[in-house]
Each structure stands twice: as structure tokens, then as C-alpha cells.
Chain A
């Protein structure tokens, strides 16, 4: 015999009431009847307790300075032009003794204006040298708008907060990427 169908109206009311009870009385045992909404609700009372974002949350963009070649790909692909890069060419010692001196690019300035950034992540995607990474860090607000222009050193600090890439699915042939430490 099929179970009698409960009208959706009552199912809906049961669900909201159940959620109310679950939030208000989350504890078990002898404490069940003492309301404790702070434990039952999923809300994080942010300034009092800190939130732990998902590891791949788009909090802020970190820079690995040594990997940057001043190729400007990120700056050019940025939809709202919030990345400022300046660099110069310099000579580096040859790789092998007796070889020719190499020409390398050195980074003078790498600023991201987080007042403009819209967290699209195109710069991270486009970087061919593994210099830009997403970090879940989120506490970098400033009282002044102009202070949201974060420079190279600040961006490099966030490198420590970048989590490792998640392992690929079993059977994947893609090259395993590693976060440079």
C-alpha cells in the first residue's frame, strides 16, 4: 500500500518548524530544553569569531616574486586594469662557467588595486610562470580607499597563506602542479 501523500503545504510548514527547533535546541541529553541558538545556527559571528573559508576561496591574489618575468600578460588581461607592473632588464651571471651573461627581467613594481579588482581570477589563470595564486585570506580591508593599492611586498606576504592544490581525480593524466614555496 502506498504511503498517503502529505500535501506540500504541510510538508513546507514541517520543514520550517523543524529548522526552527534544530536551531533553537541543538543540544542533546539533559541540556536539550535550554535554547542555544548560537550553537544551532550556521551563522559565524564574524568579528567575535573568525570564519574559516573554503581552501579554494577567492580571498586575495598572492604573488611569487621570483617567478615573475614581467611579461605583462596579467596586466593586459585584467578587465579593469588594476595591475600595475614596472620592470627593467638586467644581466644575470651565466649558467655555465665561461658562458654568456643572461638577460633577465627584474620586477620594480607590482601593485594590485583591490579597490578595482573584481576577483575574476583571469590574471591567475593567464600567468604562465606560476607567479600568481589565489589565497583564502580575507582580512585586508582599509579605512581609506587609496590604501587598498597593495604592493609587491604585501602580495608576497600572502604567499604563505596559499593552500596546496587539491589532488586530481584518480586516472588523471594532467601534470601535477605544485605551489612554489
Chain B
């Protein structure tokens, strides 16, 4: 990690302030975009509805109305709840999301932190949210919350494995854990000697891409993997007792994490902020890179939410069996094949 940030020589506090503000924007904008474009509009169109139409043109400021609604709701805390932990839980979940985006590269010089083991840190931080979820389930003093929290923990741990194993294939092929390095490897790669469009790893790591997407779906506890919040069985799982602002934080956390995972998937498999035919260190990419990455994120988000709106919920045991019996062996075979091919070519 060098001392530069956005190509500027900054003191520590300046860099930290920039990181905090930048990550705030990088979390809130994609989360809002995802909720509006996918949850409000795409889902409605898939059900032949219109979605929100009244707040702003085509309901575009509906999100502000929703936030206002949640802010004015009564903040209810159960009598027997562990108050301090109850208040802490949503912030832990949200913090893991915010930290995820710290390591994301948005351009040759547009990054918050360029770590040698960026993807490793990202995957490690993504599992911190499990702790927040468990705390929420335990501190609510509610049986449904506890069951939901335990289900979430079991699910997140089970799907963390295929997630990491799917990434290992990419790391082997790129030969680095650094996210900038992975982007560069895809940009400079070639397909059977044809170097035109680089080599986005979605082509060679197609299996890994799909395993990663499925595992992401489960990590986000979205349908069809939403047993932790299965409303017909356990009310809303670990967020049953949360209301008002704290519920809003969980809600933001869910969609911001969707955005963060979409960004990771776009970086690992779709070439990140780089565009074919444009030099990697071109200064234009510092401005265009974030937009390119956002476009690729929307593409991945579309896949994630398309699946979300199509399939009904799995059963709890089916979910676990799916992870341990299918996804993990598939991703192990994928790693093996990648290793063999990497050595062979």
C-alpha cells in the first residue's frame, strides 16, 4: 500500500476523511440505485405493475419518502431485550458493508486503499456481518429472532465457503490477491492469442462466476435463500423486533451489501473499471472508471434481482444440502481444473 490516494500526497487525517466520505457515497448511491431500479421498478414490471409513480417523476424520489417514513416511526425496544447489544447490531452489519467498499478500485488512481491482499480482506470483512446478525437475533429476546439469527449464521457460514472457493479460481488465474492486479490481469489477458477485449474472467471462470453469484444470493439472504427472514415461518427472523431507524439500517445494509457484492463480482469476473481498447493508466479512467464499474454492477445486480424475483424460497435443509453437497464440490473441481490449466498453458 503506497501513501498516495487519488494520486495526491495527503496526510493521514485527510486521507481518512476522504475515505469515509467516499465510501459513504459509494455505499449509499449504489444501494439507492439498486432499490429504485430493481426493487421498485424491475420487480413491478416483472409482475406487470408500475411500482411507485407519485413521488417525483416515475416515483424517483420515493426512497426519500421511505426514509422519512422510517425516521418518524416509533423506536420500540422489547422490555427484556439486551439494550446495548440491540442498539449495536445494525451498526455492525452496516459497518461490514462500508468496510467492504474500502478495498474496491474504481480507476487507476481512484481507490480508497490499494492492498496487496485486497480480495482476501473483502471476503474476510463480508463475514463480519454474521456477528451483527447473531447479535440482533440474540439481543431481541424473541424466539423468532433467535431462530432467524441462528439460521442466518448457519446459512452465511455454509455459503461463505463456496464464495471463497469460487474466488480462489480467479486468484489462481490472475496470480494476485490485489484487486487492481486482478483488473489488470483481465485487461491484459488474451483469449487464444486474441488480445482485443482482454480476458474477462467470466469467460474462463464461468463455473466460478455462477457459484459466486449463487453464494452471493445466499450471503445477502435474498430469495430463494431467505430462510433467516422467512416471514411465513418466523415472522421476519432477526429483524422482527426492529423498527424505525434501526430497521432502516438493516434495510440499507441489505441493499448496500448487494451493491458491494455486485461490485466485487464485476471486478473479479467482468473486468472491473477497465474498458477494452483504453490503456489501463489513462487518466480518463479515473473519471470513467467508476461509471464503468457502476454499469457492470448494475448488470450483476440485474442477475441477482432477476433470480430474487423469480424463485420461491428453499427449505432450510435443502439450502444446507445445496451448499455442502453441490456448490462446494463444484467449486473445488473448478479450482483443480484452473490449477491444471494454469500450469499446462
Further contacts, 8 of them, CB under 8 A, given A12-B311, A20-B45, A37-B41: A17-B46, A17-B306, A20-B46, A23-B46, A23-B49, A41-B45, A41-B50, A43-B49
Q: Quick one: which of A12, A13, A16, A17 has the most chain B CB within 10 A?
A: A16
Residue from A12, A13, A17, A22 in contact with B48 in the complex, judged by beta carbons closer than 8 Å: A22
A45 to B44, CA, bound (A): 14
A22 to B48, CA, bound (A): 8
Give A21's nearest chain B residue, CB to CB.
B45
Residue from B42, B48, B306, B309 in contact with A41 in the complex, judged by beta carbons closer than 8 Å: B48
Give B303's nearest chain A residue, CB to CB.
A13
Residue from A15, A16, A22, A37 in contact with B50 in the complex, judged by beta carbons closer than 8 Å: A37
Chain B residues near A9: list those with CB within 8 A: 311
The answer to whether A20 touches B307 (Cβ under 8 A) is no
User: Is B53 in contact with chain A by the CB < 8 A criterion?
Assistant: yes
The answer to whether A20 touches B310 (Cβ under 8 A) is no
Chain B residues near A38: list those with CB within 8 A: 50
Residue from A15, A22, A41 in contact with B44 in the complex, judged by beta carbons closer than 8 Å: A41
The answer to whether B45 touches A24 (Cβ under 8 A) is yes
The answer to whether A16 touches B44 (Cβ under 8 A) is no
The answer to whether A23 touches B45 (Cβ under 8 A) is yes
User: Can you give 9 A-B contacts (C-beta < 8 A)?
Assistant: A16-B306, A19-B45, A19-B47, A23-B46, A23-B48, A40-B48, A41-B48, A42-B49, A45-B50
- B-to-A contact residues, CB < 8 Å: 41-42, 44-50, 53, 306-307, 309-311
Chain A residues near B44: list those with CB within 8 A: 23, 41
The answer to whether A12 touches B50 (Cβ under 8 A) is no
The answer to whether A13 touches B307 (Cβ under 8 A) is yes
The 6 A-B pairs with the shortest beta carbon distances in the complex, nearest first, are A23-B45, A43-B50, A16-B310, A16-B46, A41-B50, A20-B46
Chain B residues near A19: list those with CB within 8 A: 45-48
A80 to B53, CA, bound (A): 38
Give A24's nearest chain B residue, CB to CB.
B45
A64 to B269, CA, bound (A): 72
Give B309's nearest chain A residue, CB to CB.
A16
Task: List CB contacts (< 8 Å) of A51-94 with chain B.
Answer: none
A17 to B311, CA, bound (A): 13
Measured between C-beta atoms, what is the minimum distance from A11 to chain B in Å? 10
Give A45's nearest chain B residue, CB to CB.
B53
Give A43's nearest chain B residue, CB to CB.
B50
The answer to whether B42 touches A13 (Cβ under 8 A) is no
A133 to B163, CA, bound (A): 63
Chain B residues near A37: list those with CB within 8 A: 41, 45, 50
Q: Quick one: which of A17, A24, A43 has the most chain B CB within 10 A?
A: A43
A40 to B47, CA, bound (A): 11
Chain A residues near B50: list those with CB within 8 A: 37-38, 41, 43, 45
Measured between C-beta atoms, what is the minimum distance from B125 to chain A in Å? 31
Measured between C-beta atoms, what is the minimum distance from B50 to chain A in Å? 4
Measured between C-beta atoms, what is the minimum distance from B273 to chain A in Å? 28
The answer to whether A42 touches B48 (Cβ under 8 A) is yes
Chain B residues near A13: list those with CB within 8 A: 306-307, 310
Chain B residues near A40: list those with CB within 8 A: 45, 48
Give A14's nearest chain B residue, CB to CB.
B310
A40 to B51, CA, bound (A): 13
A9 to B41, CA, bound (A): 23
Give A41's nearest chain B residue, CB to CB.
B50
A23 to B311, CA, bound (A): 20
A22 to B47, CA, bound (A): 10
Measured between C-beta atoms, what is the minimum distance from B121 to chain A in Å? 34
Chain A residues near B41: list those with CB within 8 A: 37
A43 to B58, CA, bound (A): 14
Chain B residues near A17: list those with CB within 8 A: 46, 306
A23 to B48, CA, bound (A): 6
Give A38's nearest chain B residue, CB to CB.
B50
Chain B residues near A22: list those with CB within 8 A: 48
Would A12 and B45 be within 8 Å (CB), given that A37-B50, A45-B50, A45-B53 are in contact?
no
A16 to B49, CA, bound (A): 12
The answer to whether A20 touches B49 (Cβ under 8 A) is no
Chain A residues near B42: list those with CB within 8 A: 20
Measured between C-beta atoms, what is the minimum distance from A33 to chain B in Å? 15
Chain A residues near B307: list those with CB within 8 A: 13
Give B47's nearest chain A residue, CB to CB.
A19
Measured between C-beta atoms, what is the minimum distance from A135 to chain B in Å? 28
Measured between C-beta atoms, what is the minimum distance from B152 to chain A in Å? 24
A17 to B42, CA, bound (A): 10
A100 to B50, CA, bound (A): 67
Q: Quick one: which of B48, B53, B306, B309 has the most chain A CB within 10 A?
A: B48
The answer to whether B49 touches A41 (Cβ under 8 A) is yes
